[in-house]
């Protein structure tokens, strides 16, 4: 059985600081409205974040012990995806439906609170269970219970590529006939440790982030998630065409200065799809807003694609949702193809003159056949997801 | 409907557990210490680039030691091979150290934060080996080993190059895990090669599949036996002993994934 060239994306759901669902996210992207605001808990430094303000549903009673913010995000996203999931379950046996979910923090927020309780009271809270509320495996278990998928299920945790690499896993799992359908995605939530960690690295901006701008000074952290259904066959709004993955082999927390690994990931995606750079209409960049990341990605994009293709960083809308980012930005890319637009890249003015990529300044309305979504991470992990319209 | 048969060819194995620093020690009968208080040599992490080694956690070093043993046995070039790292809890000690710093209202150590991530070992190994190829870091608690093999199956199919699966978990955090669930650190690796690869084979695996195990788990001290990756150690133990049969990769604690070991 050969490598599948085109796998339909038969449905998706999304939630982030722009809104709780596709309709809200789409509306705010089109209007160029950012979702960044106050961090919803106290911190000893200034920053803004992409918090989700909408209420999240509770888990069913039988899963109450697993309830935390990421599992409630999972429930919210599954509820949105249910009509498409129902069709998937009709097409394939539960054992042929798998889950590959990206997350970098999973239940770290719950553990933060439990640890604070331990310090204050000398014991963990009665309702805290480390296995059920902290671990990556618990989030995947809950997603399996909510969706009815009974095939192999795991979390990918490669920091900021966590939500993008599941697309590559899905392609391989279907190509090697392990599965017929894979629920891929990414979910992460805001927690003080992550914000404090990026602050310690000097990577956090005290104001709204400005990806690719001359004035950029760091990232904003966001939260949320997205789930996408990848199937061997079916109908949907878009098609997963290729995934390029690479490693920088350079530094544990800094990108290769010339964007070598990023370039390799993009080139591998093009090679796998058998297309030329000119066949891609738009790039959703990793675009975090740190001086080093944006400089490296800008070089990599222009080296592979030149300086005409429209490039956007949607992190200026949502914040950097870390393990959720790759999936959220893939979902946004699908939306852009469905609706035929590229949103403006918030905060880019004045663009860094050393970055010659065509960073969008205003809404562009035109049909998009192919979009590439980039994600790059700590440890030099890189993933580029190539999708085309159905 | 039966599940499709999936074949994996094992060309190298590695392991590290307290008091058992390598496969040779295991062959010699060592089965791990029985108390965390006993003295035993720490994993060396000798293959990790020197500056990174200073920052590497015990888990990262143990994975590195076992990784290189398996790669050497299979004659695999670590600068080009694909790698699948698996762990239930990852760098949990470093992460909890950050919470300690926060509870004391101290600024976090940037390096501790950077190395607290689940993929620290994957990143460290790709940097040390100069590998710009595929690496990933996954987790599925007691199903971690089985799902790492599924990821490897996909990689062996396309692009069709060797894959190293490296799974491990460090000591469970005492404050968060009760004594009857606590476990000690171990790391286990498999070097898997495509059917046409020239490396000599140690064994052939079928699966993972949901089945009944007929090979008993390796005899381990209870705290090592509770490590979420102990089932992968059982598989390596069977391969090293030349046994054939079906091994439970989750030791009965996950969703039932097993592999069947056959002669190469």
Q: Is A166 on the interface with B (CB under 8 A)?
A: no
Residue A252 confidence (pLDDT) = 83
CA–CA gap between residue B233 and residue B219 (Å, rounded): 10
Q: Is B227 on the interface with A (CB under 8 A)?
A: no
pLDDT in tens, B28-63: 999 988 877 788 889 999 999 998 999 999 999 999
| Neighbour-count burial for A331-357, b at 16+ CB within 10 Å, e otherwise | bbbbbbbeeebbbbbbbbeebbeebeb
pLDDT in tens, A237-277: 999 999 999 999 988 888 899 999 999 999 999 999 999 99
Q: Is residue B4 pLDDT above 90, yes or no?
A: no
When the pLDDT of each residue in chain A is averaged and rounded to a whole number, the result is: 96
Per the annotation, the verdict on A134 as an active-site residue is: no
Strand ranges (E), chain A: 7-15, 49-50, 97-102, 153-156, 181-188, 221-222, 224-231, 238-247, 282-284, 310-312, 341-342, 358-359, 364-365, 370-377, 381-389
pLDDT in tens, A193-206: 999 999 999 999 99
Q: Which of A15, A160, A191, A336 is catalytic?
A: A160
pLDDT over 70 percentage in chain A: 99
Q: Is residue A4 pLDDT above 70, yes or no?
A: no
Q: Is residue B160 pLDDT above 80, yes or no?
A: no
Label residue A1 by pLDDT band (50, 70, 90). Answer: very low
Average pLDDT over residues B158-183: 92
Per the annotation, the verdict on A199 as an active-site residue is: no
Long-range contacts of A366-370 (CB under 8 A, 24+ apart): A366/A340, A366/A341, A366/A342, A367/A340, A368/A281, A368/A282, A368/A336, A368/A337, A368/A340, A368/A341, A368/A342, A369/A279, A369/A281, A369/A337, A370/A241, A370/A275, A370/A279, A370/A280, A370/A281, A370/A282
Residue A2 confidence (pLDDT) = 40
Question: B158–A119: do the CB atoms touch at under 8 Å?
Answer: no
Q: Is residue B1 pLDDT above 60, yes or no?
A: no
Contact list, B49 vs chain A (CB under 8 Å): none
Average pLDDT over residues A128-153: 97
Average pLDDT over residues B145-156: 97
Q: Is A192 on the interface with B (CB under 8 A)?
A: yes
CA–CA gap between residue B116 and residue B92 (Å, rounded): 7
Q: Is the CB of residue B84 less than 8 Å from the CB of residue B154?
A: no
Interface of B with A in 228-257 (CB under 8 A): 257
Interface size A-B, in CB pairs within 8 Å, comes to 203
Label residue B159 by pLDDT band (50, 70, 90). Answer: low
Residue A253 confidence (pLDDT) = 80
3-state secondary structure of A30: helix
Residue B35 confidence (pLDDT) = 79
- Name the β-bridge partners of A310: A358
Tokens of residue B125, six digits: 């190994």
Q: Is B127 on the interface with A (CB under 8 A)?
A: yes
């Amino acid at each position: 059985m050969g490598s599948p060239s085109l796998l339909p994306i038969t449905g998706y759901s999304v939630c982030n600081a722009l809104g709780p669902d596709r309709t809200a996210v789409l509306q705010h992207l089109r209007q160029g409205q950012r979702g960044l605001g106050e961090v919803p808990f106290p911190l000893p430094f200034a920053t803004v974040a992409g918090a989700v303000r909408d209420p999240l549903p509770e888990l069913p009673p039988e899963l109450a012990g697993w309830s935390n913010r990421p599992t409630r995000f999972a429930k919210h996203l599954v509820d949105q995806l249910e009509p498409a999931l129902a069709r998937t379950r009709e097409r394939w046996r539960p054992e042929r439906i798998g889950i590959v979910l990206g997350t970098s923090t999973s239940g770290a927020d719950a553990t933060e609170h439990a640890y604070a309780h331990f310090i204050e009271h000398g014991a963990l809270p009665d309702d805290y269970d480390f296995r059920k509320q902290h671990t990556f495996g618990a989030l995947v278990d809950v997603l399996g219970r909510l969706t009815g998928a009974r095939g192999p299920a795991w979390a990918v945790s490669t920091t900021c590529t966590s939500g993008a690499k599941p697309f590559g896993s899905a392609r391989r799992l279907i190509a090697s006939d392990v599965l017929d359908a894979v629920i891929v995605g990414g979910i992460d939530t805001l927690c003080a440790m992550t914000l404090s960690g990026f602050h310690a690295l000097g990577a956090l901006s005290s104001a709204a982030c400005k990806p690719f701008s001359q004035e950029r000074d760091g990232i904003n952290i966001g939260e949320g998630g997205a789930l996408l259904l990848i199937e061997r066959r079916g109908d949907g709004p878009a098609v997963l065409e290729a995934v390029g993955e690479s490693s920088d082999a350079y530094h544990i927390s800094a990108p290769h200065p010339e964007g070598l690994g990023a370039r390799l990931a993009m080139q591998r995606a093009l090679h796998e799809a058998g297309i030329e750079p000119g066949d891609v209409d738009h790039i959703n960049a990793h675009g975090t807003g740190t001086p080093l990341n944006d400089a490296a990605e800008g070089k990599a994009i222009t080296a592979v694609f030149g300086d005409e293709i429209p490039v956007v960083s949607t992190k200026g809308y949502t914040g950097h949702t870390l393990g959720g980012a790759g999936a959220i930005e893939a979902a946004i890319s699908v939306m852009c193809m469905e609706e035929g637009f590229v949103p403006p890249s918030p905060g880019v003015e004045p663009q860094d003159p050393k970055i010659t990529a065509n960073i969008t300044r205003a809404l562009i309305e035109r049909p998009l056949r192919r979009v590439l979504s980039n994600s790059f991470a700590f440890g030099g992990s890189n993933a580029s997801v190539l999708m085309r319209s159905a | 409907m039966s599940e499709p048969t999936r074949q994996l060819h094992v060309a190298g194995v590695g392991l590290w557990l307290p008091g058992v620093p390598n496969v040779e020690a295991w062959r010699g009968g060592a089965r791990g210490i029985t108390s965390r208080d006993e003295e035993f040599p720490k994993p060396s992490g000798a293959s990790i680039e020197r500056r990174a080694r200073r920052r590497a956690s015990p888990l990262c070093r143990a994975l590195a030691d076992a990784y290189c043993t398996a790669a050497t046995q299979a004659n695999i070039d670590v600068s080009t091979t694909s790698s699948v790292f698996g762990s239930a809890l990852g760098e949990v000690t470093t992460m909890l150290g950050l919470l300690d710093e926060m509870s004391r209202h101290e600024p976090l150590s940037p390096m501790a934060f950077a190395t607290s991530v689940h993929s620290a070992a994957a990143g460290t190994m790709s940097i040390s080996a100069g590998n710009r190829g595929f690496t990933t870091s996954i987790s599925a608690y007691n199903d971690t080993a089985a799902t790492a093999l599924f990821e490897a199956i996909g990689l062996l199919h396309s692009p069709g190059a060797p894959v190293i699966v490296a799974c491990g978990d460090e000591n469970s955090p005492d404050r968060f895990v009760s004594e009857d669930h606590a476990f000690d650190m171990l790391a286990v690796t498999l070097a898997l090669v495509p059917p046409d690869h020239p490396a000599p084979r140690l064994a052939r695996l079928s699966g993972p599949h949901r089945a009944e195990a007929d090979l008993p788990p390796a005899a381990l001290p209870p705290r090592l036996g509770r490590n979420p990756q102990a089932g992968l150690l059982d598989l390596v133990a069977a391969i090293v002993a030349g046994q054939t049969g079906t091994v439970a990769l989750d030791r009965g604690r996950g969703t039932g994934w097993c592999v069947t070991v056959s002669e190469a």
